[in-house]
Amino acid sequence: MLTIDYTEIVDTNQLQDWEKSLIAQAKMALEGSYSPYSHFRVGAAVLLENGTIITGSNQENGAYPSGLCAERVALFYAGAKYPNVPIKALAVVASNEKGITSNPVSPCGACRQVMMEYQMISGKPYSIYMVGTGKIIKIDDVRILLPFSFTNVSDVDQK
């Protein structure tokens, strides 16, 4: 039996300053979205343990599916620029023509797999904040989002 352990936050005063800053950066990242086809913008922000915040936004392409999700844009840049710095947290927010969605959006399966691999590489869990205007869903370990993940990292303990 699977149990999904998460925290639902409706009052942002419950958040620490660094969490508020991370979420604000994810919201600002929406501006960089290139989404002329779906009109669905996504912004992500990754906080590294050294205090650096890396942002990304979804990038669509007319040669579908050549685009890339905001989460992977941010994670891949963080991994390329700071390859040995573990991730502390990731925030993701989405908007449409009406503005930021009221309910949080969840990362797609491909993003979940990438998130899981970065967690396995560092050997440390990190938090994911899925942000909507009505509430924020916080998950403290990527494994909760992808309980039966694929791995080709043979020396990683997935317990």
Catalytic residues: 71
How many C-beta atoms surround the C-beta of residue 92 within 10 A? 27
Please name every residue paired with 96 in a beta bridge, in sequence order, or none if there are none: 99
- CA neighbor of 73 nearest in space, from 111, 105, 40, 113: 111
97, 134, 14, 17 alpha-carbon torsion, rounded to 10°:
0
Q: How many Å apart are CA 123 and CA 64, to the nearest integer?
A: 34
User: Which positions ≥6 away from 85 have C-beta within 8 Å?
Assistant: 48, 49, 50, 52, 78
